[in-house]
Amino acid sequence: MITVRHLSKAFGAHRVLDDVSLEIRRGEVVCIIGASGSGKSTFLRCINGLESYDLGELIVDGYVVRKENRDIHAHRGQVGMVFQRFNLFPHRTSLENVMEGPIYVNGVPRATARAEAVALLTKVGLGDKLDAYPASLSGGQQQRVAIARSLAMKPKVMLFDEPTSALDPELVGDVLKVMQQLAKDGMTMVVVTHEMGFAREVADRVLFLDDGRILEQGPPEEVLRTPKHERTRDFLQRVIHAL
């Protein structure tokens, strides 16, 4: 589904991504962990063309992704992205947020879009918040609306950029539950996260990114329990102590 070959990117002298190669299968759930500044977010943003890269190749479902492409919009519409800070449209209700993409990008008739949006919001547990504006929702609720908004586009892949990092601890669970269900339904997911519990339970594979390189990857048990590299061990220790 996603093929990455020798992807590199630098901001000035700083190499954010350094020769990253990777293959993600359809339906696979990949969690990316690593310290801040290790290139996790940049990598994620390259996949839907929000960020450009200098060298290498990135192919999603046969499409060569480049931010500069004229038809990059069409690609973005097929790749869902969930942001750390939700980024819901504050001037629109939950329902309108979810209907926005299908109506104005995919040209779905309003009635159909509405029915699908109601179904999606119900699925993420917000069937009673259809007409609420984002400002009146908790962070966890906002993030679930954001997930529904992305799903409404019927994406091939869902990208999550630290989806629970801006949430109060007691709200994290609801969001993770929705993501876990999504994984069960067979969605291809790339998740940048610090939630090691989620990575252990849901991920098919965990990548440890360090200074723009994939230092280690494998099944969660292996990477999280018995990491091979010193730096992975250090990182995991620090994250677990922080909790």
Partner 1 sequence: MADALEFLPILLQGCWTTVVVALCALTLSTVLGFAWALLRLSPSPWLRRPTIGFITVIRGIPIIVQLFYIYFVFPDIGITLSAFQAGFIGLGLAYSAYQAENFRAGIEAVDPGQIEAAQSLGMGYGRIMRRVILPQAIRTALPPYGNTMIMLLKDSSIASTITVSELTREGQLIASSTFKNMTVFTLVALLYLTMSLPLTYLTHRLEKRYGRK
Question: What are the residues binding partner 1 (CB under 8 A)?
Answer: 48, 50, 73-81, 83, 85, 87-91, 100-101, 104-106, 146, 149-150, 153
Q: Which amino acid is at 205?
A: R
Closer residue to partner 1, CB minimum distance, 71 or 128: 71
* Phi, psi (deg, nearest 5) at residue 138: -75, 165
Gap between the terminal Cα atoms of the chain: 34
* CB-based contact 141:168 (threshold 8 Å): no
Q: Tell the smallest beta-carbon distance from residue 72 to partner 1 (Å).
A: 9
Closer residue to partner 1, CB minimum distance, 142 or 232: 142
Q: Tell the smallest beta-carbon distance from residue 73 to partner 1 (Å).
A: 5
Q: Which amino acid is at 143?
A: Q
Q: Buried (b) or exposed (e) across 154-173, using 16+ Cβ within 10 A? A: ebbbbbbbbbbeebeeebbe
Q: Tell the smallest beta-carbon distance from residue 113 to partner 1 (Å).
A: 13
Q: Tell the smallest beta-carbon distance from residue 118 to partner 1 (Å).
A: 18
CA distance 7 to 160: 20
Closer residue to partner 1, CB minimum distance, 101 or 220: 101
